[in-house]
Structure 1
Amino acid sequence: MAGAPRAQMEADARFAEGVLYETQGDIPRAVAAFRSALEAAPGDEELAREVARRFLRYQQPGAALAILQPFSTNSTHYELPLLQAEGHLLQNRPTEALTALREAHKRGAPLAALVPLLLPVLQRPDALPAEARPLAFVRELLDAPHADAESLLVLADAYARLTTLDPAERSQSAEVLARTARRVESLNPATPEQQFGLAELHLRSGAVEQAIRWYEQARAAVPEASPLRRLVLARLADLYLQTGRAEPAREVLEDLSKADPMNVQVHFVLANLALEAGRPAEAVDAYRRALTLNPKLEAAYYNLAQALLALQQPQQALATMESARTNIGRTFLVEYLSGLAASQMRDYATARKHFLAAEVLASTSETNRLNAALYFQLGVTAERTGDIPAAVRAFEQCLKLDPKFHPAQNYLGYMWAERGENLDRAHQLIEQAVQADPHNSAYLDSMAWVLFQLGRPAEALPWMEQALATMDEPDPTMYDHYGDILAALGRTNEARQAWQRALELDPNNETIRRKLQPDPSAAGSAHPAP
């Protein structure tokens, strides 16, 4: 037996020699020394594994597998099939690698050792035969005892991807993922990467609130400079937006804009949130940042124009639409919003041109844009520029498209009432508008005026009083109407007080001034459209 210790000493000496050559970068001599070590102790499995591990590192998988082969039958250590799996992977033999990994699992290999070798196999499920059933193996590993959080998260991600290829498994995948998520939670994942992975796992299983909770934990833990931070914030913002929580979404997006200031979409969404929340000035700044980064972002031009209109800045809105024409071309919305801006400036002739151009564009490319809102604006601008027949046609088309469009009901009804035309139809339209919005002071005024024009001032008076009681700001036309109605009822002194108030609000109105002469005779004369 004295030969055995000498052989082992020889093997150890040759192995140490190989390690020395390896550290010197002399791989050929290291390989020769390691082979000599194996020849000295051919039955030493631990030595064989150490040498095979080095041959795999040298990209010599065939040699490594040959070294391990004699021990395959009798070995009980999980490291041997793990090394065999690595060798098969280097030879692009995923089926053999998967078989070796199954054997390693049977021998008690920890998930942390199995998973890195299993992932390359799972990334090419099409290269495996049907009988290999990698999905079943992954499920088995998900239930393995003594699992670590990182391995479970990696396996759950692989499982989720594999179930997309297996309709039979898809129906139960949510429960498998939820069960795995609960297990990972019990392991108290401490790193932001693991917390993010757990949030992703909850999201895949449909547990949105739990996902948000773990994304928030990852957000608190991840360093400011980490690329992961941007992904965490993006996920959180998306979930808050999906669940209708605008304020948390805004706060997360503000953080994301600092972490990723060149992200156009972040600025655009922040602008949309501000606009929807009634903060147009904030929206304007964010839309402008988005457009600075991407001058071709079409929707940002339109939304920016709307924000500027909300701020009563029509000239800037028009300038924005001019920039849009330059950068994205002439579109329906460019013309339509230009029309709204010109209307806000009371330049109704220019506004009408834009609305007519929008109609032409819509009729050739976007017929769904030929809607009630467009024809209402065409009607308003036609009336304001004195083209009454065109105004009537536009309002009638508006109501044909949307019979309940009450702004058009009121406008057309009042326009006819003011001109003393179609008074019965005017009364009917205004009545419908009032029913739709019974506290609208302009509609109440229109009802009073059409009744007055129908020769029913006593019925008109309570409507006029309601209009005055509900108006947001003092309106000279309403006080003028009030005076006319009172005068028709013989209440001259009260009528003069109403006209006096109208003149105070509109000092340059000569029609009202004439009514205040000693013997007014102009009651019921024309008034501007609402």
Structure 2
Amino acid sequence: MVALTDFSQTYRLKPIIAGLASWHIGALSALLFFSSCGTSTKTVQNTKESPAITVATQLSPELQRKYDYYFLEATRQKSKGEYAQAFELFQHCLSIDPNAASSLSEISQFYFFLKQPEKGLACIEKAVENAPGNYWYNQTLASIYQQQGKSEKAVEAFERMTTQFPDRQEPIMALIDLYNQSKDYAKVVKALDLLEKKSGKTEQISMEKFRMYLLMEDNKKAFNEIESLANEYPNDMRYLCVLGDVYLNNGKPKEAYATYQKVLETEPGNTQVLVSLASYYQQTGQLDKYEQQVDSVLLNKKVESDIKADIMRQMIAKSQQTGKDSTRIIPLFNRMMEGEQEDAQIPMLYVQYLLSKGMDKESEPILKQIIELEPENTPARLQLLSYAIKRNDFQEAIKICEPAIEITPESLEFYYYLGLSYYQAERIDDALGTFKKGVQHVNDKSDKKIVSDFYSMMGDIYHTKKQINLAYAAYDSSLVYNPDNNGALNNYAYYLSVEKKDLDKAEEMSYKTIKAEPDNNTYLDTYAWILFIKKKYTEAKVYMDDAMKKGGDKSEVVVEHCGDVYYMNGLKEDALKYWIKSREMGNKSEVLKKKIEQKKYIAE
């Protein structure tokens, strides 16, 4: 006889099921997770779920060793992702013992994945039949019935489990869901009672029972349920408030008010009942008292900010629906802002309201307060930053961004605007250092356009510092992240033309920019200048004229270039006029001065 350890000789695998080798168990994995044991067994239910009484199938010792060996090997292959081999091995286990619940439960997973649900269901049903005391087999079978729309069988299975596994709450929760689906509200209440015995009386269970009784039109039991909840916890005013709210929301305002007064007698400062009273005054039409009560809640330091925020949202929504102005909303916000804020909820809501009304200026001091409360609040900081950028207040932008890159180093926007602000403030080295620091935080999720702008700005700075090779490398990186970055394309192309190198590449990049933005005079000027350097003077004049028409006549550089192009097209008098005009616009170039004096084009 061949030894069991000689696996390859004992059992040679055959590729029976095509496609299983690449199988990755998906959503069914969690559902079909069984607590399988390698030994072939039948289980008899004990009075408790654990431990279950197990009786081994009557296999000979030799067959039992074989079964255990192949089951463990199948489990190992499955864990390695070798699903085809695992499937065959589990089949081999069943050839040794067709009633082995452990292998039946395992192989059912394969059948479900292979879209053979009948076989999968048959296997797990047989597993439960042979090991009725295994909770996970039962849970899986019941869940499969539920998924397949076999509600009656699912209910029967879960009901059996509530008796068979009295310590488990999951079957009860599943039954509640199934009874709800079939609108069997009496059984829902019965299941909730069972759950309550196990977990104790809770607000969630009582409220659900209350809802069921209302659906059954048994109002007496409905209110008795909430009253019993309050009686269960007489020292917890929260449940008495719940009782009051239930009265109020179900047409019993007098009982609600009386209940709220009981709470106030015990806890005069109870914030929950103060909010409930506001709802009471609103629903009973006592609007003056409602507004007074709302004010007292909103200005009460003990009331949590999320409650205040909810009230303010309701008031804002109501004012928008009724078309009322902000004469009540804004003063209320201002009074709330006078007090100490525990978090940024109220200030953020206030800012959102002000922005919706177009009151940007008024929102700015609130935004500053938010940042003081929550320095890591990126939306508020970005909004504040946008105001500084609009005003070209780069010093203020620097103040906003400098702490931001320390607090939220992953936010690339702050590096970009800080570097840009440094650049505008002529702090070139600080700008370059900021951009370098920013690109260190680039990852797969980073906005590629922002990263491209980082490298584009670095290219500009390197060129300013006469580090030409580094500039070109930075532009190349910029275009890797965004091949359509017109700013990088334009500057890269222009600097190549100035050096009179790679002119074909420069022309191609520049042409791409004027196709994207045909009215951009800067891009038109660059393209015309590249054509000029390539001695395509007639074509250069066409694009230079277009650049002048699109606003280039306001740029001293574009006007000088126009003179150069005109000169090479034989229009020397017009060229001289443009050179003189460029000089008058403030162009201090010595080369331009010589052009005017000698009345001819002089290359730089």
TM over 0.5: yes
* Higher deviation after alignment, 195-204 or 398-407: 195-204
Q: Does structure 1 retain, via aligned residues, the 8 Å contact 2:243–2:259?
A: no
Determine if the alignment matches structure 1 residue 189 to structure 2 residue 295. yes
Letter in 1 for 2:559: L
Matched, 1:343 2:483: no
Aligned equivalents of 1:244, 1:450: Cα separation in 2: 48
Partner of 2:252: 104
Q: 1:203 aligns with which of 309, 316, 321?
A: 316
Following superposition, the deviation at residue 141 of structure 1 comes to: 7.7
* Corresponding residue to 1:279 among 393, 409, 423: 393
Q: What SS does the aligned partner of 1:295 have? A: coil
Quickly say closer, same or farther: Cα 1:98–1:269, change in 2 above 3 A: closer
How many angstroms apart in 1 are the aligned matches of 2:556 and 2:328? Answer: 49
Find the counterpart in structure 2 of residue 291 from structure 1: 405
Q: Which residue of 2 aligns with 1:394?
A: 509
For 1:459-474, list aligned pairs within 5 A.
459-471=574-586, 474=588
Which residue in the other structure is 2:474 paired with? 354
1:372 Cα deviation after fit: 2.6
> What TM-score, normalized by structure 1, do the two folds share?
0.56
Amino acid at match of 1:189: D
Which SS does the other structure have where 2:554 is aligned?
Answer: coil
1:425 to 521, 529, 539: 539
Q: 1:358: Cα distance to partner?
A: 1.8
SS of equivalent residue, structure 2 residue 340: coil
Letter in 1 for 2:479: E
Residue identity in the other structure for 1:356: D
Partner amino acid for 2:385? Answer: A
Distance 1:446 1:353 in 2: 27
Contact 2:398 2:421 in 1 (8 A): yes
Give the equivalent residue in structure 2 for 1:312.
426
1:235-246 paired onto structure 2 within 5 Å: 235-246=349-360
**Deviation string for 1:16-42 (max 9, x for gaps)?**
xxxxxxxxxxxxxxxxxxxxxxxxxxx
Partner residue of 1:480? 594
- Encode CA deviations 1:63-114: one digit per residue, 9 max, x unaligned: xxxxxxxxxxxxxxxxxx988744367789x999947863532678479669
- Relative distance call for 1:403 and 1:193 in structure 2 (3 A) is same
SS, match of residue 284 in structure 2: coil
Q: Distance in 1 between matches of 2:567 and 2:346?
A: 65
Partner of 2:603: 526
Structure 1 residues 301-338: Cα deviation after superposition (integer angstroms, max 9, x where no partner): 12222212222223222211221233335943332232
Q: Residue 87 of structure 1 is aligned with which of 212, 216, 228?
A: 228
Once the two structures are TM-superposed, the CA of residue 481 in structure 1 deviates from its matched residue by 3.1
CA change 1:204–1:323 in 2 (3 A) is same
Distance 1:391 1:223 in 2: 60
* Equivalent-residue separation in structure 1 for 2:594 and 2:259 (angstroms): 86
Structure 1 residues 247 and 218 mapped into 2: Cα distance closer, same or farther (>3 Å)?
A: closer
Give the 3 Å change call, closer, same or farther, for CA 297–343 of structure 1 in structure 2: same
Which residue number in structure 2 is paired with residue 450 of structure 1?
A: 565
8 Å CA contact 1:318, 1:341 repeated in 2 = yes
Identity, % of aligned positions: 10
Residue equivalent to 1:300: 414
Give 1:192 shift.
4.0
CA distance in 2, matches of 1:394, 1:376: 7
Q: Secondary structure at the match of 2:539?
A: helix
Q: Check 1:188–1:285 CA distance in 2 against 1; reply closer, same or farther (3 A cut).
A: closer
2:440 is matched with 326
Instruction: Give structure 2 stretches of 5+ with no counterpart.
Output: 1-199, 203-221, 233-238, 265-270, 273-277, 301-307, 445-450
Give 2:490's aligned residue: 376
Could you tell me whether the CA contact under 8 Å between 1:379 and 1:390 is conserved in 2?
Answer: yes
Question: 8 Å contact 1:192–1:218 — kept in the other structure?
Answer: no
- Give 2:286's aligned residue: 146
- Deviations 1:426-454 (Å, cap 9, x if unpaired)? 11111111111032222222222211222
Shift of 1:236: 2.4
Distance 2:594 2:327 in 1: 59
Question: Over residues 375-400 of structure 1, what are the superposed CA-to-partner deviations in whole Å (9 max), with x where a residue is unaligned?
Answer: 21220232244312322222122223
Cα deviation, 1:323-361, whole Å, max 9, x if unaligned, reads 123333594333223213223334333211111122223
1:212·1:236 contact (CA, 8 Å) conserved in 2?
no
Query: C-alpha displacement at 1:215, in angstroms?
Result: 4.1
> Match for 1:348: what amino acid?
I
User: In 1, distance between residues paired with 2:576 and 2:562?
Assistant: 10
Aligned residues of 1:301 and 1:320 also touching (Cα < 8 A): yes
Task: Label 1:104 to 1:400 Cα distance change in 2 as closer, same or farther (>3 A).
Answer: closer
1:53 corresponds to? none
Q: Higher helix share goes to which structure?
A: 1
Deviations 1:392-437 (A, max 9, x none): 22212222333333212112323443x4711111111111111110
- Separation in structure 1 between the aligned mates of residue 524 and residue 452 of structure 2, nearest angstrom: 25
Deviates more, 1:102-111 or 1:286-295: 102-111
Is 1:234 the counterpart of 2:348 in the alignment?
yes
Quickly say closer, same or farther: Cα 1:445–1:296, change in 2 above 3 A.
Answer: same
Distance of aligned partners of 1:98 and 1:241 in 2 relative to their CA distance in 1, 3 Å threshold: closer
How does the TM-score come out when normalised to structure 2?
A: 0.50
Deviates more, 1:291-300 or 1:94-103: 94-103
Asked whether the 8 Å contact 2:420–2:431 carries over to 1, the reply is yes
Q: Is the alpha carbon distance of 1:266 and 1:439 closer, same or farther for their aligned partners in structure 2, counting shifts above 3 Å?
A: same
Number of aligned residues: 352
Distance 2:350 2:509 in 1: 47
CA distance in 2, matches of 1:484, 1:89: 102
Distance 1:475 1:243 in 2: 50
Q: Displacement of 1:286 after TM fit?
A: 1.5
Mapped to 2, the partners of 1:383 and 1:205 lie a distance apart of 63
1:241: Cα distance to partner? 4.0
Q: In the aligned structure 2, how far is the partner of 1:99 from the partner of 1:197? A: 22
Task: Measure, in 1, the Cα distance between the counterparts of 2:350 and 2:360.
Answer: 12
Residues 346 and 272 from structure 1, CA distance in 2 versus in 1: closer, same or farther, beyond 3 angstroms?
farther
Name the aligned partner's letter for residue 398 of structure 1: T
Do the aligned partners of 2:479 and 2:485 also contact (CA within 8 Å) in 1? no
- For 1:100 and 1:403, how far apart are their aligned partners in 2? 67
Q: Which amino acid aligns with 1:405?
A: N
